[in-house]
Chains A and B, each alone.
Chain A
Amino acid sequence: MATYRPFWELRSVVKTFPGVRALDGVSLALRIGEIHALLGENGSGKSTLAKVLSGVHQPDAGEVFQRGELVVLRDPHDAQTRGVATFHQEFSLVPELSVAENIYLGRLPQRRGVVDWSAARRGSVEALARLNVKIDPDRKVASLSVAEQQFVEIAKAISRDMMLLILDEPTAALGPAESERLHGVTRVLAQQGTAILYISHRLDEVFAVADVVTVLKDGKLVGTNARRETSVREAVRMMIGSDLEEHFDRRENARERPRLEVRDVRTENRVNGVSFAVAEGEVLGFGGIAGAGRTEIARALFGLDRITEGDVLVDGRRVELRSPGDAIEAGIALMPENRKADGLFFNFEGPANITIAGLGAIQIGPFLSLTRERRRARKLMQELRIDRRAEDRSVRFLSGGNQQKVMLARWLFARTRVLILDEPTQGIDVSAKQEVYRVINELTADGIAVVLISSDFPELLAISDRVAVVRSGCIIHFAEYGELSEHELVELAAGGGANEVAA
């Protein structure tokens, strides 16, 4: 099986981005015939490492070797010609083209200046046969199931004589049966002489498929072990590490009366019967891995995905949520994960960003009172300690933490009763995080019910009054503050050892 000479090798690779050391002296050896899993929490450097190997990022220091020979990957094309294929969560297929056209996209075989369709079809069938799947090469990709599309994607990669395949969260969109099939294919490819780097959050999967497991934490290599010599428990311990706990100032503001009640809600977008309640001033944390359905629950509650079944009640009254407008009227607000793309108005200064969802409060008759707007926005900005320059400058120029607080101010201004925060501390620095936690305490002191979605599990456990573990669009476990260790949360979320804890 696996040969012991490394096929691809990273030595002491360093990659820094402004403010972050994404990879800090990481060394890794990938061998032909070996499935090498890369584990780590969000932000541990897994994707950066994959991008170094696929030529997207160039390391600041350290070397990359192929068959013991030093190589420099200037761009993704460089990596491709050296046989590196990356397989992302997002498909790169063109839905309107046929399977064969997609597999040979941009390099259709030609004979005497015309496309040699029969060669393209034959090649496609062969590539798919290596994966043990049969898909008609003339079918349109749009007509295929997600799993079939995934196989086409892989076939596209292997038809290029790829020798190193990087799979980045390949099963995020797949069901259990399809994941199993994908793993089968992965093993076959390894046996046929491919080196495979497998990146995943799902511990159970990793341990089912990988030969070697490497754990990263905060850009550093924690350890590389043969799968047989390690365990899920050990891997979790390595992922979490034993660093000093960050300081979380959590206040108990939860009261008795339920503010938000969700009863058996389903949508067509991965929410499969979810029930929970959040009390006034309570913080309910949603834990889970990427693709578990946490964001989708938030989308349903904010009127973005149609609720096909179930009821939502705010302060005991049933509400219809057909649009974000409906949700805001009902007192529900969502702070989206991507504040730049989905939250902020760079063409506005601070005040206009804060008032946009509650213009009624600054109206006199049919008109806006700009004086009142400025006065009330300034007051909120002082309360939340937002950079004063935001008063008359575009919010583009604010720091990430200040931008996030502008978003919080918007929903405070709109008199929100239920606030859903989707990854509110992602991409902001430690002191800004503390500020966001402080504001969350202020929100709950005002009686606002907070639903917190965070992939930063220590943070989630420290701030939430209760944690709901979400997997496959369902809440599989509720825990009070202090009941759940990070270790248990990771296992529950990833599906490893769930039975021991969830019982």
Chain B
Amino acid sequence: MRERFADALRSQVVGPFLIMLAVATAMALSTDRFLLSQNLKNVGLQVAIVAIVAIGATIVILTAQIDLSSGSLVALTSVLLADIVKNAGLSVPLAALLMILMGAGLGLVNGFFSSYGRIPSFIFTLGTLAIFRGLAFQQTGGTPIFSVSPQLDPIFYGELGGLPLPFVYVVVLYALAWAFLIYTPRGRQIYAVGGNESAARLSGINVNRVRTEAFVIAGALSAVGGILLTARLDSGSPNYGQGLELMAIASAVIGGASLFGGQGNIFATLFGAFTIVIVQNGLNLHAVPSAWQNITLGAIIAVAVGVDMWRGEFARLLVRLWRRGRAAQDEARPTTSTSAEEHVQSRP
């Protein structure tokens, strides 16, 4: 049993892990600075925020929805946290807790309208993407808040037993997400809803509720991302988290999550996040202008999504080419079996 489970895990995680390794190797070979410990630490810190937001993105994608508002929610959290700590004098733990609740609440708004309200989540969260960012600007009048609080560092940025705290949060949150998705009924229902909505409903699952909860989780995790970012930079700014939603979604998709829902592995998402951040870091080290960095990131996302969408066609194309090759080889013997092709066609 345990072996079998390890097998299943490996099969879904191995690909994304190898991609990450390949990208890292390419970076290490092309510049000496990649493997410097300071750089690796930077990579790790950058990954932390992307990776945590990507947990939420993965869970939402598993239910066959999408959350585009997470980057803006990170900015809103950052600004509000800085404001209530620095200007209203709230203690950091209390303020952080409030932010997580706010994130969950705004996630509830996203989830409620895109499930019970039947507004496609792609459109609704595109709306909240603009709204949350707008609220963040409104809060500060557009200016960042610097030197928020010395209290932030020991809770959200310092070290615990030699490990940077953001790493610790990543490890803990990924372990929790994994346990939630694999070992709880709700986690199973999330996969079920994404796999076949109608069957899920006919199995007694409250589909709208499951979807709404996925958005609530995503909102709370975006808030955590916002808190960590604020602590790392000791400032709150409405400009933080631009494009973070795309990086989070790309992490999930590079990790093999299907945008059709029902398929994805949380650890594979973590490797996806590493892949994205390593690419970005490598481009920085090679002094690639930021415009080209954006273009590259966009292209990676487009390709990753394309691979997800065209998986079936790719497989079919390969089978066809393979059969054509065989037919050319032995023209005398006609191929009688079509089962190989049918087998592949029925895959997603």
Contacts and interface: CB of A to CB of B under 8 A. Distances in A.
A359 B190 CA distance: 13
A334 B206 contact: no
Given A352-B188, A366-B184, A396-B346, A345 B202 contact: no
Interface in B133-186: 179, 182-185
For chain B, the bracket of interface size reads 20 to 34
A207 interface: no
A193 interface: no
B4 interface: yes
Given A370-B5, A392-B4, A346 B196 contact: yes
A357 B262 CA distance: 17
B203 A367 contact: no
Contact of B199 (A344, A368, A371, A392): A344
A132 interface: no
B132 interface: no
B183 A367 contact: yes
Interface string B184-216: 110011011011101111111110000000000
B196 A345 contact: yes
B1 A356 contact: no
Contacts of A302: 202
Given A325-B206, A347-B263, A348-B192, A342 B185 contact: no
A328 B194 CA distance: 21
Contacts of B199: 341-345
B192 A345 contact: yes
Contact of B191 (A342, A347, A360, A374): A347
Nearest to A18: B342
A371 to B, nearest CB: 5
A370 B195 contact: no
A359 B204 CA distance: 11
A62 interface: no
A397 interface: yes
Contacts of B201: 324
A357 B203 contact: yes
Given A342-B199, A344-B199, A347-B194, A360 B185 contact: yes
B259 to A, nearest CB: 13
Contacts of A336: 202
Contact of A374 (B1, B182, B343): B1
A344 B201 CA distance: 12
B262 A323 contact: no
B93 interface: no
B260 to A, nearest CB: 9
A348 B191 contact: yes
B183 A370 contact: yes
Nearest to A356: B203
B341 to A, nearest CB: 13
Nearest to B264: A347
B346 A359 contact: no
Given A324-B201, A325-B205, A347 B195 contact: yes
Contacts, number: 84
A89 interface: no
A363 B185 contact: yes
A108 B86 CA distance: 66
A335 to B, nearest CB: 9
Contacts of B127: none
A360 to B, nearest CB: 7
A324 B263 contact: no
Given A345-B195, A347-B195, A356-B203, A368 B263 contact: no
B204 A324 contact: yes
A367 B187 CA distance: 10
B120 interface: no
Interface residues of A, number: 33
Interface in B257-273: 262-263
Contact of B202 (A334, A348, A352): A334
Interface in A329-363: 329, 334, 336, 341-348, 352, 356-357, 359-360, 363
B325 interface: no
Interface in A310-325: 323-325
A342 B202 contact: yes
Nearest to A375: B1
Contacts of A352: 188, 191
Interface in B1-30: 1, 4-5, 8
Interface string B227-270: 00000000000000000000000000000000000110000000
A46 interface: no
Contacts of A348: 191-192, 195
Nearest to A394: B347
Chain A CB within 10 Å, residue with most, of B179, B202, B205: B202
Interface in A399-438: 410
B202 A368 contact: no
Contact of B185 (A327, A344, A368, A370): A368
Contacts of B183: 367-368, 370
Contacts of A328: 203-204
Interface in A250-289: none
B204 A327 contact: yes
A341 B200 CA distance: 11
Nearest to A328: B204
A324 B203 contact: yes
Contact of A341 (B179, B185, B198): B198
Contacts of A334: 202
Contacts of B263: 347
B36 to A, nearest CB: 42
A60 B194 CA distance: 39
Nearest to B191: A347
A403 to B, nearest CB: 12
A488 B189 CA distance: 46
A357 B204 contact: yes
Q: Which 8 A-B pairs have the closest CB atoms?
A: A347-B195, A347-B262, A328-B204, A359-B185, A325-B204, A357-B203, A345-B195, A367-B183
Given A367-B183, A368-B182, 13 more contacts: A302-B202, A328-B204, A336-B202, A341-B196, A345-B196, A346-B195, A347-B195, A348-B195, A356-B200, A357-B204, A363-B185, A366-B184, A374-B1
Interface of B: 1, 4-5, 8, 179, 182-185, 188-189, 191-192, 194-196, 198-206, 262-263, 343, 346-348
9 contacts: A325-B205, A328-B203, A329-B204, A341-B198, A344-B196, A345-B200, A356-B189, A357-B203, A410-B203
